[in-house]
Structures are given as C-alpha cells and as structure tokens.
C-alpha cells in the first residue's frame, strides 16, 4: 500500500449511521482513483486506527482495506456505512478498550492513544485523512489536525448540529422520514381521537423536531434548548385536538428535551467515550403526564395517548435525494481541497453555496436553535417573522 502514485487517502466514518455516508465514500473514492490516488477505507471509525498492529506480517484487513470502484459502486446508493462505525474516542480510551497488544504500555483508567494513531497512519502510509462524522467524531479530527495530520473533514449528523455548516449529511432523510411517519401515524390517532406523542432524535439541538413541525407534520414540538411546562403543553394539545375535525393532535419531542425543573432523561448511567449517556424516557414521561392532565382541559374526560419513539426508523434505509446529492458534492469538495494541497478544513454548505471552513470551527462553538428568533416559547412551536434570505434548511 505504500507504493503510491500521487498519494494515499484514508477515509472513515464515525458515530451514528445515517443515509448518505456510502454516497460520500463513493464520491471520494471514484474521484481520487481517477486522479491517481489510492484510497484506504478505515473500518469502525477511530477504532480502526487504534487497533492497527504495526507489523507487515500481521493481517490488518479487519482494520483497513483498499477501496476500488467496484466496491464503492455496489454500496454507493445504499444507506448506512459499509466501513462500519463506532463511538471510539482515541484520546479517551478506557483501560478495558485498549487493544491487547498495547495493554502493557497503556494501563491507566483513561488513556490517550493519539501517539499510536499517528504511528498507525504513518505505517499505513496515509497522506490525507477524510473523516466523516458529527461534532464528536470531528472534534478528534481537530486534534489530529493540530498534531500535523492532513485532515479534510465532512460533516454528518441527523441532528444537523455541526457548527460552521448549514447542512450535515443525514439531516434531510431524517426530516423526510419524520414527516412521513408522523403522517402515517395520524390515521391511528385520528381513528381513536387521541393525542400523538413522537420522540425524535436531538440531544442538544432541536432541529429534527422543529423542521417537521414547521412543515405541518405536528401541532407542537418541545426541544432541548427550552425547558417546557408540561401543563401548558397539555393545554395546547387539548385545544388543537378540540379544533381538529378528526379530534387528535400531535407533538414531536426531542430526545434531549426536559420539562421545567427537570433534566435530560437517560436509559442508564453508562456513558460512551465522549461522555454521552444513552438518552431515553422523555417521550414516555410526556405521554403519561398528558393523559393525567387531559381531564383538566377536556371537560373532565381523559384523552388517551399514542406514544411512539421513531428512533432508528428515521436513520435506516436509503438516502433521499438531498442526501444523495450533497454527499457527492462534499466528497468532490474534499478532493478539490486535496488537489490544491489544502488541509485542516471542513467542507460545508453555507447560504445555499458549497464552501469550506477551518476545521477547528467544529470545536469553537455549539450549533443550537436560536429560540429568541425561531421558537415561540409560549405556543411551543416554530415562529418566523420572514423567510426572506433564510438558508434553505431555514434554521
């Protein structure tokens, strides 16, 4: 693999899977191969670079392999990532996750394996690295860039919360599926005259609940950026139901949302390497409270609730049109930068135009819904004074 023409490009995917990853890998690979580069696919995100054994006699195909047009063409129109993924954070590896061949050297409770990653990149012969991920995956890419690795990053996350870009791969399919599934579930809510509570993705940012609500899929939404009053939500949904001829109403609940005086809800106290606990429970809480509170706003009669967590249904399957086109453009943008000898950059969409930004923009701020501009805290729904000159995805 060290026998190279113009150089070797490594590509990896980290964090949660989304539709659009395989089209991005395909775009990078085909363009790179036609311009004289070799492309190495690194398996399971940063974990693949942690687990490499630097011995030419060892089979490392479980950690990386050479990509060809045949390989990427087969996967390029499908969802998920054929390179697989993980939530490994190479700078914060717990002792239990340190590879067996490194346990003698790294035996602290939490270990920084960046020195090994740097040596492994050199061992593989990678000249440029293209990580595709959200703010967690790309925050470590920032670290590698600071260490001298030539990094060109591509933003991916269905929460659409990577700073510096208006759009992240996976967001459009997430919104499309959320709207479709919400409309499908309306038939159940309408048939039984119930309230419909749908829990959607969104740990810190409420974009994936705001956009479908704005598009008319739901009456209300609650988001992580604002602690909502459950009694006010019950009042609004009962009003919405009363004015609906089919006698039902819908609320989208971000998984990271919390009620007044409460906190995020988690399935357990176990955290990943980025310090994130697995979210879960806010949809159940909202559903139970709405049922208990409904008599107060429905002339003493209880309204039953349909409670559904959309979860992986909005991130599985094939990409929609936007998540087929944008990854193609992002992959080619990355190669544009590499062909110019540029690195330490993040490819982006800004104000409807493709561009690039310094990669450290990923760690410089948080990308959240501006509730003063876009969220009515009394009505618990999106608000807009004007759409003129707004970005395509509005928020």
Distance between CA atoms of 84 and 353, rounded to whole angstroms? Answer: 30
308 and 198 Cβ atoms separated by less than 8 Å: yes
Residue with tokens 């390029």: 76
> d(Cα 384, Cα 289) in Å, to the nearest integer?
29
Q: How far apart are CA 218 and CA 213, in angstroms?
A: 5
Q: Scan for tokens 């030419």, then name that residue.
A: 56
- Distance, in Å, from the CA atom of 219 to the CA atom of 237, rounded to the nearest integer, reads 7
From 17, 136, 159, 360, active-site residue: 159
Retrieve residue 379's tokens.
């009505």
* CA 163/CA 160 separation, integer angstroms: 9
DSSP, collapsed to helix, strand or coil, labels residue 119 as helix
Q: Which residues pair with 309 in a beta bridge?
A: 199
Distance CA 121, CA 127 (A): 8
Residue 211 CA to residue 207 CA, distance in Å, equals 6
159 belongs to the catalytic site: yes
Nearest to 281 by CA among 260, 261, 305, 265: 265
Do the strands 305-309 and 37-42 form a parallel or antiparallel pair, or are they unpaired? Answer: unpaired
Length of the chain: 395
The residues annotated as belonging to the active site are 159
């Amino acid at each position: 693999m060290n026998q190279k023409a113009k150089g070797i490009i490594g590509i990896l995917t980290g964090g949660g899977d989304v539709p659009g990853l395989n089209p991005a890998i395909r775009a990078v690979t085909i363009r790179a191969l036609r311009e004289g580069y070799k492309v190495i696919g690194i398996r399971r995100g940063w974990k693949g670079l942690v687990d490499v054994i630097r011995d030419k006699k060892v089979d490392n195909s479980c950690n990386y392999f050479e990509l060809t047009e045949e390989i990427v063409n087969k996967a390029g129109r499908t969802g998920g990532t054929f390179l697989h993924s993980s939530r490994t954070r190479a700078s914060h590896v717990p002792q239990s996750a340190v590879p067996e061949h490194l346990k003698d050297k790294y035996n602290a409770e939490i270990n920084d394996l960046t020195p090994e990653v740097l040596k492994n990149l050199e061992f593989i012969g990678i000249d440029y690295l293209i990580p595709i991920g959200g703010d967690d995956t790309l925050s470590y890419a920032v670290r590698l860039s600071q260490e001298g690795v030539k990094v060109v990053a591509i933003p991916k996350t269905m929460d659409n919360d990577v700073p510096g870009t208006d759009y992240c791969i996976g967001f459009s399919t997430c919104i499309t599926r959320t709207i479709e599934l919400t409309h499908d579930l309306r038939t159940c809510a309408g048939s039984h005259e119930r309230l419909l509570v749908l829990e959607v993705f969104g740990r810190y940012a409420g974009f994936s609940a705001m956009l479908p609500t704005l598009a008319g899929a739901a009456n209300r939404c609650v988001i992580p950026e604002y602690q909502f009053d459950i009694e006010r939500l019950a009042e609004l949904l009962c009003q919405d139901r009363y004015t609906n001829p089919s006698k039902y109403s819908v609320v989208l609940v971000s998984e990271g949302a919390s009620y007044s005086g409460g906190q995020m809800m988690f399935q357990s106290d176990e955290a990943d390497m980025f310090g994130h606990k697995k979210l879960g429970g806010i949809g159940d809480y909202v559903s139970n409270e709405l049922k208990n509170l409904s008599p107060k706003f429905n002339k003493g009669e209880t309204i039953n609730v349909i409670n559904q967590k959309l979860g992986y249904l909005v991130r599985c399957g094939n990409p929609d049109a936007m998540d087929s086109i944008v990854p193609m453009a992002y992959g080619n943008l990355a190669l544009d930068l590499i062909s110019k000898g540029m690195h330490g950059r993040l490819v982006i969409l800004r104000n409807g135009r493709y561009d690039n930004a310094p990669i450290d923009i990923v760690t410089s701020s948080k990308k959240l819904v501006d509730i003063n501009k876009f969220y009515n805290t009394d009505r618990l729904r999106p608000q807009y004074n004007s759409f003129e000159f707004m970005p395509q995805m509005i928020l």
